[in-house]
Every structure is written in C-alpha cells, then in structure tokens.
Amino acid sequence: MENMTAKIFYQSDCNLSLLDGKTIAIIGYGSQGHAHALNLKDSGCDVIVGLYEGSKSWAKAEAQGFKVYTAAEAAKRADIIMILINDEKQAAMYKKDIAPNLEAGNMLMFAHGFAIHFGQIVPPADVDVTMIAPKGPGHTVRSEYQAGKGVPCLVAVEQDATGKAKDLALAYALGIGGARAGVLETTFRTETETDLFGEQAVLCGGVCALMQAGFETLCEAGYDPRNAYFECIHEMKLIVDLIYQSGFEGMRYSISNTAEYGDYITGPKIVTEDTKKAMKKILSDIQDGTFAKDFLLDMSPAGGQAHFRAMRRKAAEHPAEVVGKEVRKLYSWSNEDKLINN
C-alpha cells in the first residue's frame, strides 16, 4: 500500500491569516473557478479573477462581485495564482499570460496535477508550486461551502521556494471549505493518476456506462423507458446518497433483504475479473502517459477536438438523455435542472 501514513489536515491545522495582505488571482471562472473565487471571498480573502477578453464569464464574475482582468494582468497583480482553466489549455495560457508576470516568491496553484505532472508547464525555481484538488465537482464545492460543509481535497507541494508553500496551500484549502472535510497530503503524480483513474473507470465513465447499459437492457426488453430511467438512473443518486452518508453497510440497511441478496449474488457477475483487468489497463495507460498523449492530441488545434465532439454529440443523443429531459421537466422542483446554464 502506498504511503498510508500521509497526513490529513483539518480546520485547526490551517491558518487563514497567512493569506492576509495577499491577492489571490483565480484564472478561469468555470466549474472550479467560480466556486474557489466565491468561497475565498466569503472567507474574507482578497480575490480577483483572470479571464481572456471576450470570455462569456467576464460579466458574470463582475456581477458576482469581482474585479476581472485579463489573465496576464491578474497574474501581475497577484501573489497567489490559481490556474482553473481547462487542463488542455493551460500550457499555452501559462506561457503567454502567466510566465512573463510571475515574480519570485509568488505561488502558482492548481486544482489538478495534469499540466505539471505531464510536463506541460515547467515553472521557474523561485516560485512555490502547490495544489489544492477538491475531490468533487466545482458546483458542489460552492454548494457544500454555502451549506456550512466542504468537499475533501488533496494537497501537494511540487516546489517550496518560500519555505511556506504547504501552510499557504492549507490556508487556501480552509478558505474554500475543504478543510472542513479533510485535506489529504499527496504528490502531483499521485493526484493526477488517481483522479484520472477515478473519473474514467468509476465516477463518470464507469457509472454512466453502467446506468446506460441497465437502461438499454430494460428498454430493449420492452419496458417503459420512463420506468427504465427512474430505475437505473434517477435512483442511482438516492442509493449513492446512502453510501455517502453511511457506507455500503448503511445503504444495505435501508434496502430490502431481497435487494441485498440480489446485490451480493449479482454484483460480481456484472463487475468481473475482466472488468478489473480492464481497470488495470486503464490505470497503466494513465501512468505511462498514453491517455494524456491521446487527449492532448485530440484537443490540439491539429486534432480539432474531432473525436471529443463526436463522442459528446453521440452521448447527448442517447435515449436515456431524451427521456431524462422529459421526466425531469415534470418534477415539481424542476427549476433545479439549470446547472448546465451556471
């Protein structure tokens, strides 16, 4: 087992006042960007936002109370620069906007290790380079903070030029609410590999494919697609919420004995030794850089996102999406299905 002695930090381990007098530039105002910026502001920090001219987020960030500058100008004004733009765009933006404006003793931060670990960005030796990586979607980083809770984070220090990098990063984690849940110490390499593995094999790729296959199986057998949607997609959250609260045992406490019996005998027939073998291959493609190379090529100007866009289009056309839209519209609380516009 990897370093099980790694430390986990909580609120009392973090000192928010280390951020006093420091300007934090949040570059990008998407899922993570808006959440970090708003949470830090609500925690009393001095936050500015960096975007590109013409960005749709510019007016929104201003309306939410921030001074907005170009990424270059924001970097110049800041002591701490958190890069929250898309991983595949970070290298070019860093080179053009950040590198020329970095000063010795600044801290460059990330919420995911991709650009540093895969050598897309190589910062100068005289700046701190740290990561606070929330283990959850940005919109949830915001909503949990507002609820007085937080999303657990990973903390990593790639470069400690000032001797204070880790403490500053932990102060940042407290500011966004992460320390309310726990901030686990790790490295850029481990965060990158485990995050990519989790989202591909389990959280996004694995779970969505499982739900869609279940939905298809019921529809193909002639059952009402709305029933298939309720059963295999809607109810997933309700079951996972119980796991989130009290583990698999807690979830099994709430389900019937019938369901629990079926769970034990059927789970291993669906997720088999072959599935584990596929997971190991996915992990090794992440570790040896194969995934990163393929992703960066498709997302590059030469690749034109051809594969990415085609996959996105096809996924949006899945019958489960069509039925889901209809069904969600009719929920009495349907105004909550607006995340996509936020």
93 is in the binding site of which of ligand NAI, Mg ion, ligand X2X, none (Cβ under 5 to 8 A by kind)?
ligand NAI
Of the pair 158, 195, the CB lying nearest ligand X2X is at 195
Q: 78 vs 11, 50, 65, 124, 179, CA distance in Å?
A: 25, 10, 17, 17, 23
Task: Choose between 96 and 277: whose C-beta lies nearer to ligand NAI.
Answer: 96
Q: Which is nearer to ligand X2X, 283 or 327 (CB)?
A: 283
Name the token pair of 300.
Answer: 């590059």
Q: How many CB atoms lie within 10 A of CB 253?
A: 11
Q: Answer with the entry of Mg ion, ligand NAI, ligand X2X, none that 175 interacts with (C-beta below 5 to 8 A by kind).
A: none
Q: Which residues bind ligand NAI (CB under 6 A)?
A: 27-33, 50-52, 55, 57, 71, 84-87, 89, 93, 111-112, 133-134, 137-138
Q: Is 158 or 191 the residue whose CB approaches ligand X2X more closely?
A: 191
Closest distance to Mg ion from the beta carbon of 31 (Å): 10
Residue 203 near which of ligand X2X, Mg ion, ligand NAI, none (CB within 5-8 Å, type-dependent): ligand X2X
Cα-based angle 204, 205, 206 (whole degrees, multiple of 5): 100
Classify each residue of 274-285 as buried b or exposed e, where b means 16 or more C-beta atoms within 10 Å of its C-beta: eeeeebeebbeb
Which residue positions form the known binding site? 29-32, 55, 57, 138, 195, 199, 231, 235, 256
Using CB positions, name the residue nearest to ligand X2X.
199
Q: Smallest gap, in angstroms, from Cβ of residue 92 to ligand NAI?
A: 7
- Residue 135 CA to residue 250 CA, distance in Å, equals 22
Closest CB 300 distance from Mg ion, rounded Å: 19
| Residue 234 Cβ vs ligand X2X, minimum distance, rounded to whole Å | 21
Q: Name the closest residue to ligand NAI (Cβ).
A: 30
The residues annotated as belonging to the active site are 112
User: Over 18-56, what HEC string results?
Assistant: HHCCCEEEEECCCHHHHHHHHHHHHCCCEEEEEECCCCC
Least Cβ distance, residue 325 to Mg ion (angstroms): 26
Q: How far is residue 322's CA from residue 342's CA, in Å, rounded to a whole number? A: 21
Binding partner of residue 84 among ligand NAI, Mg ion, ligand X2X, none, CB cut-off 5 to 8 Å per kind: ligand NAI
Q: Order of strands across the sheet with 128-134? A: 8-9, 183-185, 153-159, 128-134, 107-110, 80-83, 23-27, 46-51, 68-70
Report whether 82 contacts 24 (CB < 8 A). yes
Tell me the binding residues for NADP(+): 29-32, 55, 57, 138
User: How long is the chain?
Assistant: 342
What letter represents residue 228's amino acid? Answer: A
C-beta of residue 98 within 8 angstroms of C-beta of residue 75: yes
Pick between residue 19 and residue 201 the one whose CB is nearest to Mg ion: 201
The entry of ligand NAI, Mg ion, ligand X2X, none that residue 227 binds, CB within 5 to 8 Å by partner kind: none
